[in-house]
């Protein structure tokens, strides 16, 4: 039994190549490979759209395995949709360093130095898929075509200095409100 799970419309600037159980999305400067698990299959339709289908016989499967297949199909749909939107438009996040003396500077396109009030500077390696810009000392602009690597690097930056709600210091998203707590008076 073949059931079509999702039909993806592909923009003109993205080219797609299907090999065995790989789907290769490419643009002028980027190339992303997605692995398609065994029961799923990717094909082209007549109007140059990508079809994701599942080829299984539901008679021989247990309920648990059918539920697992539906969960795998949902995550695969999300991954393909994120890849298409990431290659066509890209993802970006703005971070702000709030605190006296908090600064960020780029040594080169691969290294980022953070001064966050510690006795030492924090040196971070920037992943290949990311581009970082520092228009001001306390603002970071991160851009990537891969949402997963962007989110993991942002979480690494936010963990480097946790938000202090008593002193109004930390690393946070631009425009995110800083909620302060007052000290208990005696």
Task: Assess whether pLDDT exceeds 60 at residue 185.
Answer: yes
Backbone angles phi and psi of 99, in degrees to 5: 155, 155
Task: Assess whether pLDDT exceeds 70 at residue 127.
Answer: yes
Give the domain-ending residue among 88, 115, 150. Answer: 88
The domain containing residue 135 runs over which residues? 91-173
CATH of the domain at 110: 3.90.930.12
> Model confidence over 47-105: pLDDT tens digits?
778 888 887 655 467 777 777 887 888 889 899 999 998 998 889 999 999 989 999 99
Same domain membership, residue 19 and residue 56: yes
Same domain membership, residue 139 and residue 98: yes
Give the span between the Cα atoms of 91 and 130, in whole angstroms: 10
Q: Which pLDDT belongs to residue 139?
A: 95
Same domain membership, residue 100 and residue 77: no
Report CA-CA distances (Å) from 45 to 8, 9, 49: 10, 10, 5
Give the domain-ending residue among 70, 88, 106. Answer: 88
Q: Which pLDDT belongs to residue 131?
A: 93
Give the span between the Cα atoms of 179 and 166, in whole angstroms: 9
Give the domain-ending residue among 55, 88, 121. Answer: 88
The answer to whether position 181 is within a domain reads no
Give the span between the Cα atoms of 94 and 3, in whole angstroms: 41
Same domain membership, residue 67 and residue 53: yes
Q: Which pLDDT belongs to residue 109?
A: 86
């Amino acid at each position: 039994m073949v059931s079509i799970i999702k039909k993806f419309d592909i923009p003109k600037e993205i080219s797609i190549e299907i090999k065995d159980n790989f789907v290769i999305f490419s643009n002028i400067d980027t190339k992303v490979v997605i692995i398609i698990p065994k029961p799923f299959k990717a094909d082209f339709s007549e109007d140059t759209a990508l079809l994701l289908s599942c080829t299984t016989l539901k008679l021989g499967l247990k309920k648990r395995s059918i539920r697992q297949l539906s969960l795998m199909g949902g995550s695969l749909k999300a991954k393909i949709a994120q890849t298409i939107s990431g290659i066509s438009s890209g993802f970006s996040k703005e971070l702000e360093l709030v605190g006296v003396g908090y600064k960020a500077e780029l040594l080169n396109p691969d290294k980022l130095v953070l001064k966050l009030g510690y006795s030492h500077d924090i040196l971070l390696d920037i992943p290949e898929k990311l581009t970082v810009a520092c228009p001001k000392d306390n603002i970071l602009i991160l851009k990537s075509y891969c949402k997963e690597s962007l989110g993991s690097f942002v979480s690494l930056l936010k963990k480097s200095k946790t938000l202090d709600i008593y002193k109004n210091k930390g690393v946070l998203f631009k425009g995110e409100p800083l909620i302060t707590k007052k000290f208990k008076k005696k």
